[in-house]
Structure 1
């Protein structure tokens, strides 16, 4: 698709053999030394690899990484980085898993979203970076992203960005129809009704069943349907209070046909964002770069507001998306691959990405006056980072994803998705999703309750 820049969450794409405990790395015999490839994995070895040079392949879809690759090669002229867009989200994970299982074609570095990283870590498909000294970087990153790359005592990636949520809204549309910017989800529902009544071609947002958005809004509502303790997990949407809060409002949006039946990250979706027929987007702070590159025609029309609240006066937020860069266990050039990770996610590459609209996971940048006071021309000069940073501070603690969330998200449309195209209620769809997730976890050797 011409404008498919990034898709942060799975939307029912099948995952080939994504068995969380069954994933196995298919590399050379030297790859058994986690993170080292059998070589000295210290700062000197990484520097020596840069001096010697060589080639690495990076699988990623995030648009701001293109500039990072250009700058990295300019600084280290003996290094060649081949950047490949092997698909976004689950599309890439399917291709990545196929390569791992085949034992060939595995990249050196892969962009892996936080919700998906544990699945690859459990399967030993990504390298533990502890031997590179990665554990010493704990204070470099904000708690949410850093916790996401720390799995069972190892560090399986470096945080690339984070996704504290906000409400992106089309100010031009809101002004035209005299719709107030919602501060609560009840107000959001009222706005949806008013907008669609004024013009049946206009929708408050689009939603055809998005696992990432659903779980993020349940998270924001205080829900904790997943509990994970190593290989012991539980799934319970039925009795979870946050889930009930979410479905109460979202069911009305679906039942009253107030959300556009256009799937996210399609050409139609970009068109809807550009012409205003999709008037809001509730997503992570990484989105501005995608507006700039994918919805350029609507520059100046859009603004950013705090995430609507489930309770008036509250300030709760959640994460939506965000990715790490991980070194694949099958890589034969781990030192050079780790050097790229350091540059992109800790070094000068961070600033290059910020200039192109990325949202950082690094604490120094999150608190930087220069970052907070950055004006976004796309959003009419608005200093949107101030809203994003405040959201990051208000992310509710205690959320967990399944160690096989990639698979769980891939069956969302087969279960919860039915609520969008039939009389099945969201609660019924979530029950089916729960049952399927429990069954799969048990099949993969997890203790699931």
Structure 2
């Protein structure tokens, strides 16, 4: 599940300590690999030991059980109760304190650079992690390899597609899923006019959705080179998103129901919310959270900014990384590799995870899977193609966790006031820039 979370005030305080622990204002990623080798990994597996893993993804439970079965002398302590703000707050506090943290942590792609810069995540190149590059799709691999290091292995990915309630669309006279964003806005008007209680989607302001839309539009509002950061929401891609999406807000064409709440899932089930443009991890959430709509939903390609385009973006997705303070990095890396590229990966896919591995995305078995929830549709064909069409060159801020946490303080004002989306995005950039300068970055 994608969690572009709003970090609490405690997390912000912890962030200050996290940034400071890099030492001396040096914000250049440490590309030196953790001391060790592939031989050390083999020796660590033979010796065994205990590992603490912090991960909210439910499929990691199966991975832990499989790893313990394969290596009986290893015990995994899986802490899965922490998620969202609690997960990052606890992780940042442990880093700042220098103890009490896990050996392995799940870290979303937007947060990898930040934890790498603070030297909280170990560079896994010394254990042979670089040799796995060809096994993963470009987007997730790029996310875990900022500035030349390997700071985790991709656990899953979130290439975007449109999930929609075909029954609701048909009743509103929308005979085909919108192929462009202009068509999507028109469909939103048509649907809401036909039934004022229904909306084409829900949107209360979300940093992850916003950045993904700009990403797909070819925008590059964040440019990062070592300690130098440029933030530019006058970027053409950002402007394209803001001007296209503004009518959705102004004309109240989106439902103002907070996501991931019981009310939100009920709205997905009863037709109040008729579509979501989001990551490939969504099918399982729909099937379990909006059971009433089983068989009514379908999957279509992400709407395009230009007719005939094939551009997509990532939304969500996460990695497993080894914490630099771990006393058993070699064994921790073995677990990460097992989860991301060995038998554990197969266990996760079987449990419903969307893979980030090229081989699995191209396998006939995966592509041929029929989804009863989507009326028997082979949805993976569309999702796998989306993974191939992700626009390259996207960058997150080296303090993206903080930036996402203050999204609603600035950019979110467009949803609750007359502030235009273009102006609120600019304010978000300015607030993020101020914080970045306070952390020692050179921000323009």
**TM-score greater than 0.5 by the shorter chain:** yes
Compute the TM-score of the two structures, normalised by the length of structure 1: 0.92
Q: Does 1:437 align with 2:432?
A: yes
The alpha-carbon deviation at position 24 of structure 1 amounts to 4.9
Q: Does 1:104 align with 2:99?
A: yes
Distance 2:284 2:86 in 1: 21
String of CA shifts for 1:212-232, please: whole Å, max 9, x gaps. Answer: 100110111111111111111
1:209 alignment partner in structure 2: 205
String of CA shifts for 1:149-198, please: whole Å, max 9, x gaps. Answer: 11222110001111111001112222333323111111111121122222
Of 364, 369, 378, which aligns to 2:364? 369
In the alignment, is the contact (CA less than 8 A) between 2:123 and 2:151 conserved in 1? yes
In the alignment, is the contact (CA less than 8 A) between 1:224 and 1:400 conserved in 2? yes
1:219 alignment partner in structure 2: 215
Q: Does 1:183 align with 2:179?
A: yes
SS of 1:152's partner is helix
1:22 alignment partner in structure 2: 20
In the alignment, is the contact (CA less than 8 A) between 1:161 and 1:322 conserved in 2? yes
Distance change (3 Å), C-alpha of 1:275 and 1:77 = farther
Task: Spell out the pairing of 1:251-330 with structure 2 (5 A cutoff).
Answer: 251-330=246-325
The alpha-carbon deviation at position 103 of structure 1 amounts to 2.9
In the alignment, is the contact (CA less than 8 A) between 2:37 and 2:128 conserved in 1? yes
SS of 1:57's partner is strand
Distance change (3 Å), C-alpha of 1:189 and 1:63 = same
String of CA shifts for 1:35-72, please: whole Å, max 9, x gaps. Answer: 65x6xx33333233233332212111122222222222
Distance 1:273 1:336 in 2: 43
1:142 alignment partner in structure 2: 137
2:328 alignment partner in structure 1: 333
Task: Spell out the pairing of 1:35-50 with structure 2 (5 A cutoff).
Answer: 36=34, 41-50=36-45
2:27 alignment partner in structure 1: none
Distance 1:304 1:175 in 2: 15
Of 419, 422, 446, which aligns to 2:417? 422
Instruction: Figure out how many residues of one structure are paired with residues of the other and give that number.
Output: 434
SS of 1:303's partner is strand
Of 113, 128, 132, which aligns to 1:133? 128
The alpha-carbon deviation at position 309 of structure 1 amounts to 0.8
SS of 2:20's partner is coil
The alpha-carbon deviation at position 290 of structure 1 amounts to 2.3
Distance 2:291 2:76 in 1: 28
String of CA shifts for 1:343-385, please: whole Å, max 9, x gaps. Answer: 1100011111112221211111122222222222222221111
1:3 alignment partner in structure 2: none
- RMSD of aligned C-alpha atoms? 2.0
2:26 alignment partner in structure 1: none
Gapped regions of structure 1 (runs ≥ 5)? 1-5, 26-31
Of 207, 226, 229, which aligns to 2:225? 229
Distance change (3 Å), C-alpha of 1:197 and 1:393 = same
